[in-house]
Amino acid sequence: MRHPGVMALPTVGAGAVIEWGPGTAAVGAGWAAGVSVAAGVAWRRGAPGSFDYYAAPVLRAWRRRWGTYVGVRWRRVMEACELYRTDRRSGVDEFPRVVRVRAYSPSVDTVVVRMVRGQSAKQYEAKLEELADTLRVRRVAVERTKPGYVVLVIERREPFTEVIAAPEMPGDVDAVDLSSVYVGDTEYDTDFRVSITGNHVFVAGATGAGKNSIPASILRALAPLIRDGLVRLWIADPKQLEFSKLEPIAYRYSSLSEAPDDEDLDDDGHEGGEPLTIAALIGQFKATMAAKQARMAADGDRTLRVSPETPLDLLIVDEIGAVLAYAADPREARMVSKDLAVILTQGRATLNRVIGLVQEPTKDTVPVRDLFTLRVCLRVTTAAQVDMVLGENARLRGALADEIPNVPETAGIGYVIQPRSRVPQRVRAAYVTDAELDELLAFVLAGRAALHTDSPEPHLKAVA
């Protein structure tokens, strides 16, 4: 009754033997098996995409359900990890029961487990390392779905063995969905997508972890909107490396930590244009948000739609620690921290968004860390930094970002807590090369020239 699909085969076989005899039943079974195998092979070769989407997950789940998560094998795993309970009255050992197995990708199983009485999800969280070693898998994460049940996310092998190509740039504004921007892939063979309309994005990772791939992928997806002035790009770039080449398409750009000395200015008091510091850029961004708020209050609006009159303002702060913690003037750093706190708490309704990137995600370095609504943790150097980025006990639930190897092949791999879930999900961002950033730059500039339109206001050049 619990497994009617599995019991159907022997039931049909027994009925066929009774009805037609063993010989005829064997021939019929042979033909049925042969036709099924031939149809499966033809489907796999003729339409591999639909086969991988519909048939492969079912076949994988069936094989793993009855090969690993069943009977004596499953009980031995629970015994080894001390995740069973002995009834004090009867002395009978009670074991958690596997209810359902899903295998949407070749590398990850999702196992729904019904706990025995007296157990909680925290007991499974405390045994994740033991479960991984006992099952001979790379990683186990746990999620509590409803009372009495937990879901074990079992990563059998590394899901990301190849570099993910940069996302294609849409040609038209209508092809862009701001609520679902493609950034990379997840461990479930699905798209890793980010909502720009609903999130401020925080990306943490050590040097070489691939932090810039996430904003670079987002910018390629937003290329038509940047070209048409529907998205205004603000870049605070103290490092002056990857994002410096995007200065020509930025609405505002600054790499100045502090204003230049008087002797560095020309006779008119300028350094190749108005000197705009990063602090001043963030202050202008906040002022833009305040102007939108005043307009909304006057018009009685609660939300804004992206339009030429009310564009989405996107602020990218590279190495945010250099702005908030390592600045030469502590008073200016505190002012910038307050401005960012106001923006992060009030900018959602006014279409003001922030993407912050940092190497050291401590509170001393980024005091506004918890105000970002979507946080991505790439490779970090300590286990404590995982919880700093993703929230309390994120590592305990399976986000092992500190164990990602420090090699170029792992750039862009990390963890994220998806909406409606507390289980960490392993993701990989697409890799955007310098040539593809040049392609973005050429696309936007050529489109503006063809439309005889420039950005709503010329950006203020401020290069150290």
> DSSP string of 179-214?
TSEEEEEETTSSEEEE-TTT--EEEE--TTS-TTHH
> Whole-angstrom Cα distance, residue 333 to residue 141?
38
Residues 143-152 pLDDT 10s = 888 889 999 9
pLDDT tens per residue, range 305-339: 888 888 999 999 998 988 888 776 788 888 999 99
If you average pLDDT over each of 20-34, 383-397, 438-452, which comes out highest? 383-397
**What pairing do the DSSP bridges indicate for beta strands 181-186 and 191-194?**
antiparallel
Q: Which CATH number fits domain 173-451: 3.40.50.970, 3.40.190.10, 3.40.1080.10, 3.40.50.300?
A: 3.40.50.300
Q: Write down the pLDDT at residue 64.
A: 86
pLDDT in tens, 52-82: 766 778 888 888 888 888 888 999 999 999 9
Per-residue confidence band for 379, with pLDDT thresholds at 50, 70 and 90: very high
Average pLDDT over residues 107-128: 91
Helix 4-20 to helix 22-46 angle, to the nearest 10 degrees?
140
Q: pLDDT, tens digit, for every residue of 211-241?
A: 999 999 999 999 999 999 999 999 999 888 7
Q: What is residue 89's predicted lDDT score, i.e. its pLDDT?
A: 84
The amino acid at residue 86 is T
The order of strands in the sheet holding 97-105 is 97-105, 108-114, 149-155, 139-146
Among 253, 353, 348, 351, CA closest to 311: 351
Domain extent listing, the chain: 49-157, 173-451
Give the residue carrying structure tokens 């099952």.
135
In tens, the pLDDT along 268-296 reads 333 445 578 899 999 999 999 999 999 98
Q: What fold is seen in the domain 49-157?
A: Threonyl-tRNA Synthetase; Chain A, domain 2 (3.30.980)
Residue 165 DSSP symbol: B
Q: What is the pLDDT of residue 127?
A: 92
pLDDT at 452 over 90: no
Roughly what angle, to the nearest 10 degrees, separates helices 213-221 and 434-451?
30
> Quick one: pLDDT at residue 9?
75
State the pLDDT at residue 427: 94
* One fold for 49-157 and 173-451: no
DSSP assignment string, 78-117: HHHTT--EE-TTT--EE--EEEEEEEEETTEEEEEEEPPT
* pLDDT of 53: 67
Residues 155-212: pLDDT tens digits? 998 889 889 999 899 989 999 999 999 999 999 888 999 999 889 999 999 999 999 9
